[in-house]
């Protein structure tokens, strides 16, 4: 006689999904394997490594639900409170820190059906938008009316407005427009209590009388779904730019380039785009922001020498050979880093001015003149090249993973006085393990972010995952020791949890207080932010 | 007239006078709730009188917690204790060759902590020049000895921004101990004064500036003087060109003066800033924020006899300022109704999230409750 089987946690959760199907509709409660695999990762490289290893079930959720409006979101949260099943919010899935990664005991809440641009108030220059709207679609709608949000992350085509708020995103034009937290005026969210909160403090966008207490907008922004699910955002708009001036400069070394952009940012003349590439990045990618730039170059070298009439079999053989070469290169990071370091010290700068006023040219000319005193004016070419390729990055990772290697990015920030020390400290920590490139791309009067790209390779999946963990551990330890912020615009997820107190000393107690107030049952995206573990 | 009378605040049952940030920290962290609740009072400008009405409270006066802790000219940042007065900071920056150009006009006697803690029931607007928009770090202490520190690094994506537990928090959840502000090196400046008899004319000059791509660092209009004054900072060639373009574009008389005059004028205006609690507590004055269009409408429609209108903050869509009635304050009702940060009276309730956090952070009710 067979022993009665004990239902797994996933099965127990699925037994309770009927109530949700009644509210959302049967077809909006997904439990088929292909659907669940589609939500077992965001864009985090660790998840891609797992997928490459065939470990698709490792973060497979119990179910995926797709509410259509705020009321349905509220019903989902009420269900989660009743059942104790954790919810993991999921927008477009473009995050890279595992902020939207579930497990088999949780249900993913896909918010992409909340995809309406509710209102564009042209007199107030604000827009109300639902979280599932894709950044590109939103920007296109605004542009059609002569407006812009000024938020252009490289993931523009595959990221959602709600995600921008949830993870404190930054766009490529941040030097002028700021980060997303500077653009957002207020939001609505369903908290873990199942209550709708609106953070608009005035009658400007809300008919309610102002509540008392500090404005919680900036407490919900960046909370990555751990306190509630964002259902609406009100953002500030600007007139869409009509004029653009871009220019490239080459500096003899990184220090000279950094000094040039520090002086520019403190001059009172604010560029829209500033991107200074460190010497390895200048040499390897030449201003192409795609993490795959190096791989593209290796491939191009090989492809140039392949006859056009190869059979598919031979072409596949060539691909494998090419990948083997790439692995050999990436697998010797110390050597490769040393070689690249020895090949050149020049740093490339791309700087751009955009706006709808006649002074754009004047400001640009003044800035170009200042920059030319320290560097070589390369003309508009590098800027045009960058503009053409600036959204490639989110689509070109797969060639790297295809070789058996992995690629990831670490975006940190600090004030000018510590910037070069931070840069060197992180490079020192990473170069023994991975190939490291960097650029300085979100620049402010008081400091800058540094965007490190690293590419690594190990012999097998387990070794790759261990290398990946080690790189993050040693990298963020170095960031913390150098006094930098552990993340400028990618968020935390569970990847950087262990270092959160470095940015917010005493933050755990405040987070616990917020969590207890807004999510007393602990059902909102558990295991993220302050509840995360080692990478 | 006492400090409290001048600010329309009820007198406390007792006062504490910490001398530096450590004493301020001890004052908050060691309170056990056996005394009446503590109310943090700097220059008094952030405290809403109705918060303390009918409440026995102990005033924690932060005016002696007023050191400029560090000045970093290279990164353009300055760290000050919470009780440091704006005027003291401004003059220190002037001496160090740094600039307050990113900030709107502030009352000289307001403390930095008070300006941050003041509850402003408004969404921020880009370019408004609020202190909070240029604060890159702060540290604070709560009543359970919990200290919080926000790392001084530009922007972050590391979770909720806990500075906003204290910014706008009116001291209900903890005390700001110190703050780091963005203070870039000083550049050339030009002071511009243009005739603008009415609000519409002042708006017209701003519209003209916007079309020309000019963003003044600060701007001040006073009805009684019929003048709009503003300052531009930046590279000399650019500010010169800006002034000439503006002179050519507006059809009123424009006077232009140099850097020292711009800095001196800022000092004068801030020393006599109408938002000083002691002035704005006057019966016939209303401090508020309006949409430009709505204030213009109320001014056009109103038959109220006005003594003066002063506007000291000009953002893209709204203005902040003060309206003084010739007779009694009741006649300012249309202005009150039009304000986007209109006083809520008793109609607003404490937000649920705030109540929960307050209970957790301050279980002994050591600090006054804003609800």
A501-533: pLDDT as tens digits: 999 999 999 999 999 999 999 999 999 999 887
Q: Strand pairing partners for B137?
A: B180
* Contact residues, chain A, for B246 at CB < 8 Å: none
* Segment holding A246, helix H or strand E: strand A243-251
Q: Which residues of B206-232 are buried (b: 16+ CB within 10 A; e: fewer)?
A: bebbeebbbbbbbbbbbbeeebbbbbb
Helix/strand/coil for A301? helix
Residues B273-297: pLDDT tens digits? 887 766 666 667 888 888 888 899 9
Kind and range of the H or E run holding A436: strand A435-440
Gap between the terminal Cα atoms of chain B: 29
pLDDT of B290-325, one tens digit each? Answer: 888 889 999 988 777 888 999 999 988 889 999 988
Binary contact (A510, B165; C-beta < 8 A): yes
Q: Do A202 and B163 touch (CB under 8 A)?
A: no
**What is the tens place of the pLDDT at every residue in A282-329?**
988 665 555 445 556 655 555 555 566 667 777 777 777 777 877 877
Residue B219 tokens, joined: 């701007």
Closest Cα partner for B185 from B260, B78, B107? Answer: B78
pLDDT of B368 above 50: yes
| Burial of residue A380 (number of CB atoms within 10 Å: 0-12, 13-18, 19+) | middle
- Spatial contact of A177 and A159, defined as CB atoms under 8 Å apart: no
Q: Which residues in chain A (436-455) have CB-CB distances under 8 A to chain B? A: 442, 444-449
- Which residue among B123, B124, B357 places its CB closest to the CB of A513? B357
Q: In what order do the strands lie in the sheet with A29-30?
A: A29-30, A63-65, A107-110, A87-90
Max Cα distance, chain A (Å): 87
- Contact indicator for A499, A480 with CB cutoff of 8 Å: yes
Tokens representing residue B193 in the block = 């004064």
pLDDT band with cut points at 50, 70 and 90 for residue A209? very low
Of the candidates B76, B238, B358, which has its C-beta nearest A366's C-beta?
B238
**Interface contact B153-A447, CB threshold 8 A:** yes
CB atoms near residue A364 (< 10 Å)? 23
A200 vs B contacts (CB less than 8 Å): 123
Q: What share of chain B is helix, strand, coil (3-state, %, to 5)?
A: 30, 25, 45
Residues 55-74 in B contacting A (C-alpha not used; CB under 8 Å): 72, 74
Report pLDDT for A533.
73
Selecting from A218, A483, A517 the residue whose C-beta is nearest the C-beta of B161 gives A218
Nearest CA-CA distance, residue A162 and chain B, Å = 14
> Please, which pLDDT band fits residue A206 given cuts at 50, 70 and 90?
very low
- The residue of chain B nearest to residue A519, with distances taken between CA atoms, is B353
| Residue A149, both tokens | 């949000």
Q: Which two tokens stand for residue A10?
A: 């996933």
pLDDT in tens, B137-156: 999 999 987 899 999 999 99
CB contact under 8 A, A170 and B157: yes
Residue of A371, A216, A305, A441 lying closest to B357 (CA atoms): A216
pLDDT tens-place string over residues B67-84: 999 999 999 999 999 999
Count of residues in chain B: 371
Q: How confident is the model at residue A207 (pLDDT cuts 50, 70, 90)?
A: very low
CA-to-CA distance for B343 and B341, rounded, in angstroms?
6
Task: Evaluate whether ipTM surpasses 0.85.
Answer: yes
Tell me phi and psi for residue A70, to 5 degrees.
-60, -40
Interface subset of A 144-163, CB within 8 angstroms of B: none
| Contact assessment for residue B109 and residue B137, using Cβ atoms and an 8 Å cutoff | no
Compute the nearest-CA separation of A318 from chain B (Å): 42
> Please, which residues 200-229 of chain B have a Cβ atom closer than 8 Å to chain A?
210-214
* C-alpha span between A393 and A405 (Å, rounded): 17
Which chain A residues touch B72 with a CB distance below 8 Å?
A: 415, 417
Looking at CA atoms only, how far is residue B206 from chain A in angstroms?
14
Determine the Cα–Cα distance for residues A452 and A33; give it in Å rounded to an integer.
35
Which residues of chain B make contact with A219, given a CB cutoff of 8 A?
Answer: 160-162, 164-165, 353
* DSSP-derived secondary structure letter, A252: S
> Is the pLDDT at B33 greater than 90, yes or no?
no
pLDDT for A469 beyond 60: yes
- Separation of alpha carbons B24 and B8, rounded Å: 24
Nearest CA of chain B to the CA of A128: how many Å? 14
DSSP letter string, B101-145: TTS----TT-BHHHHHHS---S---TT---TGGGEEEEEEE-TTS
Q: Do A181 and B146 touch (CB under 8 A)?
A: no
User: In this complex, do B151 and A509 lie within 8 Å of one another by their Cβ atoms?
Assistant: no
Shortest alpha-carbon distance between residue B1 and chain A (Å): 30
State the CB neighbour count (10 A cutoff) for residue A38.
Answer: 16
Average pLDDT estimate for A372-399: 86
Chain B residues whose beta carbon lies within 8 Å of the beta carbon of residue A216: 164, 351, 353-354
Rounded Cα–Cα distance for residues B58 and B15 (Å): 5
**Residues B60, B50: Cα–Cα separation, whole Å:** 18
What tokens were used for B312? 């000291």
**Percent of chain B residues past pLDDT 90, beyond the cut:** 58
Q: How far apart are CA A323 and CA A304, in angstroms?
A: 15
Distance CA(B329)–CA(B283), nearest Å, equals 6
The candidate with the shortest Cα–Cα distance to A265, out of A371, A348, A338, is A371
Give the B window 9-48 contacts with A, CB below 8 Å: none
- Cβ distance B155 to A204 less than 8 Å, yes or no, reads no
3-state helix, strand, coil in chain A (%, to 5): 40, 20, 40
B contact test, residue of A214, A245, A354 with most B CBs within 10 A: A214
* A423 lies within 8 A of chain B by CB: no
Residues A371-392 have a mean pLDDT of 92
Closest chain A residue by Cα to residue B348: A211
Low-confidence winner among A154-168, B27-41, B158-172, B219-233 (lowest mean pLDDT): B27-41
Identify the residue whose tokens are 């960031």.
A479
Distance CA(A293)–CA(A296), nearest Å, equals: 5
Sign of CA dihedral A517, A519, A525, A526: positive
Instruction: Give the mutation candidate from B29, B132, B160, B245 for the A interface (greatest A CB count, under 10 A).
Output: B160
Tell me the angle at which helices A360-372 and B236-249 cross, rounded to the nearest 10 degrees: 170
* pLDDT score recorded for residue A482: 98
Distance of CA B164 to the CA centre of its chain: 16
Residues of chain B found within 8 Å of residue A449, distances taken between Cβ atoms: 154-155
- Name the residue of chain B whose CA is nearest to A491's CA: B157
**CA-CA distances (angstroms) from residue A223 to A239, A279, A323, A514, B160?**
29, 36, 40, 10, 5
In tens, the pLDDT along A234-286 reads 999 999 999 999 999 999 999 999 999 999 999 999 999 999 999 999 988 66
Is pLDDT at B371 greater than 50 in this prediction? yes
Q: What is the mean pLDDT of residues A351-369?
A: 93
Judged on CB neighbours under 10 Å (0-12, 13-18, 19+), A371 is buried
Q: Which residues pair with A524 in a beta bridge?
A: A87
* pLDDT of res. A398: 78
What is the reported pLDDT for B339?
Answer: 86
Work out the number of other CB atoms within 10 angstroms of the CB of residue A143: 13
* Chain length of chain A: 535
Q: Which residues lie closer than 8 Å to A355 by C-beta, 6 or more apart?
A: A241, A242, A243, A272, B213
Contact B125/A at CB under 8 A: yes
Contact between A517 and B355 using a beta-carbon 8 Å cutoff: yes
Distance between CA atoms of residues A290 and A70, nearest Å = 37
- Cα–Cα separations (whole angstroms), residue B223 to B74, B105, B198, B202, B296: 40, 17, 6, 9, 13
Tokens of B68: 């400029």
Q: Which two tokens stand for residue B140?
A: 């604070």
B330 backbone φψ class: left, alpha, beta (φ>0; ψ -120 to 50): alpha
- Using a 10 angstrom Cβ sphere, with 0-12 exposed, 13-18 middle and 19 or more buried, the burial of residue A373 is exposed
Nearest chain B Cα distance for residue A120, angstroms: 15
User: What span, in angstroms and rounded, lies between the C-alpha atoms of A284 and A282?
Assistant: 6
**Confidence band of A201 (pLDDT split at 50, 70, 90):** low
> Could you say which DSSP state residue A4 is in?
P
A211 with B341: Cβ contact below 8 A:
no
- Split at pLDDT 50, 70, 90, the class of B348 is very low
Partner A contacted by B351 (CB < 8 A): yes
Contacts of A328 (CB under 8 A, 6+ apart): none
**CB of A23 within 8 A of CB of A71?**
no
Closest by Cα among A337, A59, A326, A459 to A467: A459
Among A168, A210, A268, which would you mutate to test the B interface (most chain B Cβ atoms within 10 Å of its Cβ)? A268
Q: Are A150 and A173 in contact (CB under 8 A)?
A: yes
The rounded distance, in Å, linking the Cα atoms of A276 and A248 is 10
pLDDT averaged over every residue in chain B:
89
How confident is the model over A96-128, as pLDDT tens digits?
Answer: 999 999 999 999 999 999 999 999 999 888 999
Residue B264 forms contact with A (CB below 8 Å): no
| CB atoms B123 and A186 under 8 Å | yes
Token output for B60: 């924690």
């Amino acid at each position: 006689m067979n022993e009665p089987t004990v239902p797994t946690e996933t099965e127990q959760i699925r037994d309770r999904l009927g109530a949700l199907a009644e509210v959302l509709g049967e077809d909006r409660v997904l439990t088929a394997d292909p659907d669940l695999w589609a939500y077992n990762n965001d864009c985090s490289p660790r998840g891609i490594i797992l997928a490459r290893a065939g470990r698709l079930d490792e973060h497979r959720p119990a179910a995926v639900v797709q509410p259509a409006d705020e009321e349905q979101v509220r019903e989902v949260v009420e269900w989660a409170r009743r059942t104790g099943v954790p919810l993991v919010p999921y927008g477009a899935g473009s995050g890279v820190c595992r902020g939207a990664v579930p497990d088999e005991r949780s249900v993913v809440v896909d918010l992409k059906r909340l995809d309406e641009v509710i209102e564009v108030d042209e007199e107030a220059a604000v827009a109300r938008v639902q979280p599932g709207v894709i950044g590109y679609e939103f920007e296109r709608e605004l542009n059609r009316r002569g407006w812009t949000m000024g938020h252009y992350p490289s993931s523009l085509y595959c990221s959602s407005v709600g995600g921008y708020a949830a993870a404190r995103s930054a766009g490529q034009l941040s030097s002028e427009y700021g980060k997303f937290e500077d653009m957002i005026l207020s939001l609505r969210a369903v908290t873990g209590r199942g209550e709708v909160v609106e953070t608009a403090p005035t009658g400007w966008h809300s008919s309610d009388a102002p509540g008392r207490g500090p404005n919680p907008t900036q407490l919900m922004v960046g909370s990555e779904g751990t306190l509630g699910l964002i259902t609406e955002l009100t953002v500030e708009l600007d007139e869409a730019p009509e004029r653009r001036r871009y220019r490239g400069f080459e500096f003899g070394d990184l220090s000279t380039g950094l000094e040039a952009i520090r002086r520019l940012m403190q001059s009172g003349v604010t560029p829209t785009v500033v991107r200074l590439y460190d010497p390895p990045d200048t040499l390897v990618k030449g201003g192409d922001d795609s993490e795959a730039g190096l791989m593209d170059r290796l491939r191009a070298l090989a492809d140039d020498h392949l006859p056009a009439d190869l059979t598919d079999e031979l072409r596949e053989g060539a691909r494998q050979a090419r990948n083997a070469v790439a692995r050999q290169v990436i697998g010797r990071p110390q050597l490769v880093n040393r070689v690249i370091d020895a090949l050149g010290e020049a740093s490339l700068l791309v700087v751009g001015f955009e706006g709808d006023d006649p002074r754009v040219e004047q400001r640009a000319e003044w800035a170009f003149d200042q920059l030319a005193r320290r560097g070589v004016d390369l003309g508009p070419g590098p800027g045009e090249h960058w503009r053409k390729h600036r959204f490639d990055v989110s689509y070109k990772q797969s060639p790297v993973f295809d070789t058996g290697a992995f690629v990831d990015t670490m975006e940190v920030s600090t004030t000018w006085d510590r910037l070069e020390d931070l840069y060197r400290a992180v490079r020192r920590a990473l170069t023994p393990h991975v190939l490291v490139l960097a650029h300085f791309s979100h620049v402010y009067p008081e400091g800058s972010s540094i965007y490190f790209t690293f590419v690594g390779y190990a012999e097998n999946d387990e070794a790759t995952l261990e290398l990946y963990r080690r790189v993050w551990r040693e990298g963020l330890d170095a960031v913390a020791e150098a006094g930098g912020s552990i993340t400028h615009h990618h968020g935390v997820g569970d990847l950087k949890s262990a270092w959160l107190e470095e940015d917010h000393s005493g933050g755990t107690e405040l987070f616990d207080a917020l969590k207890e107030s807004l999510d007393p049952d602990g059902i909102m995206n558990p295991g993220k932010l302050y509840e995360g573990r080692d990478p | 007239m006492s400090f409290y009378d001048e600010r329309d605040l009820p007198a406390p049952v007792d006062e504490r006078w910490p001398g530096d940030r450590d004493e301020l920290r001890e004052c908050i962290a060691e309170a056990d709730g056996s005394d009446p609740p503590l109310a943090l009072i700097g220059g008094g400008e952030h405290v809403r009188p109705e918060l303390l009405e009918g409440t026995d409270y102990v005033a924690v006066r932060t005016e002696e917690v007023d050191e400029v802790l560090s000045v970093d000219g290279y990164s353009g940042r300055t760290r000050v204790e919470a009780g440091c007065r704006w005027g003291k900071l401004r003059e220190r920056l002037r001496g160090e060759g740094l600039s307050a150009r990113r900030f709107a006009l502030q009352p000289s006697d307001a403390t930095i902590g008070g300006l941050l803690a003041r509850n402003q029931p408004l969404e921020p607007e880009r370019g408004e020049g609020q202190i909070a928009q240029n604060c890159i770090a702060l540290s604070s202490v709560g009543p359970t000895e919990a200290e919080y520190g926000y790392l001084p690094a530009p922007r972050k994506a590391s979770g909720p921004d806990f500075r906003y537990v204290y910014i706008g928090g009116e001291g209900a959840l903890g005390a700001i101990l110190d703050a780091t502000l963005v203070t870039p090196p000083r550049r050339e400046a030009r002071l511009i004064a243009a005739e603008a008899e009415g609000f519409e004319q002042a708006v017209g000059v701003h519209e003209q500036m916007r079309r020309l791509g000019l963003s003044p660092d600060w701007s001040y209009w006073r009805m009684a003087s019929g003048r709009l004054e503003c300052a531009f900072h930046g590279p000399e060639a650019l500010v010169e060109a800006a002034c000439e373009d503006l002179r050519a574009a507006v059809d009123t008389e424009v006077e232009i003066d140099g850097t020292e005059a711009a800095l001196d004028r800022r000092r004068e205006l801030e020393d006599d800033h109408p938002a000083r609690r002691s002035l704005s507590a006057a019966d016939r004055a209303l401090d508020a924020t309006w949409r430009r269009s709505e204030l213009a409408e109320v001014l056009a429609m109103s038959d109220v006899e006005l003594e003066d209108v002063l506007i000291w903050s000009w953002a893209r869509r709204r203005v902040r300022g003060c309206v003084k009635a010739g007779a009694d304050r009741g006649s300012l009702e249309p202005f009150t109704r039009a304000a986007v940060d209109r006083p809520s009276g008793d109609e607003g309730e404490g937000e649920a999230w705030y109540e929960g956090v307050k209970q957790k952070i301050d279980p002994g009710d050591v600090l006054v409750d804003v609800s």
